[in-house]
Amino acid sequence: MEVQAPAKLNLTLDVLGRRKDGYHDLKMVMQSITLADTVRLEKNGTGRVQVRSDLSFLPGGEKNLAGAAALRFYESLGQACPGINIVLTKRIPVCAGMAGGSSDAAAVLRALNQMEGEPFNPMELAKVGERVGSDVPYCVLGGTALAQGRGEELTLLPSLPRCWVVASKPDFPISTPELFARIDGCRLRRHPDTDGMLAALQAGDLGGAARRMYNVFEDVLPPRQQAKVGEIKNALIQCGALGANMSGTGPTAFGLFEQEEQARAAAKVLSRHYSDTFLAQTV
């Protein structure tokens, strides 16, 4: 079986505080887009899970979230794993704040569920995803959703009106643990208007949703990285984006466009400076 694993974007991302278990309580509005990895699965009869990718540095087996997802699926089903070969063709950039690994894992869960006669409904399958990673439950469902808790408490929302997306990833790494430590050590100066975002989605107001996009992690980026993300966002706005935001813990920044022509022109401009620039649509 071959399935697609769509990337996700954060329309909003708020950190509400650190929990006793060491995790953080989050409140995020998530959106999937047409930029996607391709995931191929085949039973191999060995009882082992093997993962291969066109990116040689990615781990294989259970150390890859896709492999872990296969094992958690059969554990939840109460059956021995028959052995699965998983082949990933990557298009979503790695360590970009777009949930590439989590989306691959979610695609494996959806594919295995179909291959085994759909023993789990979508919400049950999302619960299986909780055992793999915090973003996996959302990626199982996709579309437009409010994610709370560690990301596993999901509320499906009215779809963001279909639009064009231009996303660019600058060429530097972001340390997620470091950003969470920075969040813990400071008082955030502003938070996203999540209620306003929900109201805009309910009204089908694309412009209103775009204007309310915000990610608190932008405020705690190291200065040079913050400047680079701001540079991309400004370029997107100058090219006609209705709004721009950073996704996840970054460093990818993206803009929403109503018109395809403007989006294509923006992608052309950004790709001159950032090789990881993508043109997509919302799902």
- Is 54 catalytic? The answer is no
Q: How confident is the model at residue 277 (pLDDT cuts 50, 70, 90)?
A: very high
On the question of pLDDT at 173 being above 90, the answer is no
**φ, ψ dihedrals at 6, nearest 5°:** -70, 145
Checking if the pLDDT of 189 tops 90, the result is no
Q: How far is CA 11 from the centre of its chain?
A: 11
Domain spans in the chain, listed from the N-terminal domain onward: 2-156, 164-281
Query: Is 280's pLDDT higher than 90?
Result: yes
Radius of gyration of the chain (CA): 19
Least confident of 151-160, 171-180, 193-202, 227-236: 171-180
For the segment 101-131, what is each residue's pLDDT rounded down to a tens digit?
A: 999 999 999 999 999 999 999 999 999 999 9
Q: Is 135 a catalytic residue?
A: yes
Question: Does 61 have pLDDT greater than 90?
Answer: no
Could you tell me the CATH superfamily of domain 164-281?
GHMP kinase, C-terminal domain (3.30.70.890)
Beta-carbon count within 10 A of 178 CB? 13
Mean pLDDT in residue range 56-75: 95
Domain 2-156 CATH (choose: 3.30.230.10, 3.40.50.1820, 3.60.15.10, 3.40.50.450): 3.30.230.10
pLDDT, one tens digit per residue, over 8-33 is: 999 999 999 988 888 899 999 999 99
Catalytic residue, from 14, 37, 104, 135: name it. 135
Q: pLDDT digits over 241-271, tens only?
A: 999 999 999 999 999 999 999 999 999 999 9
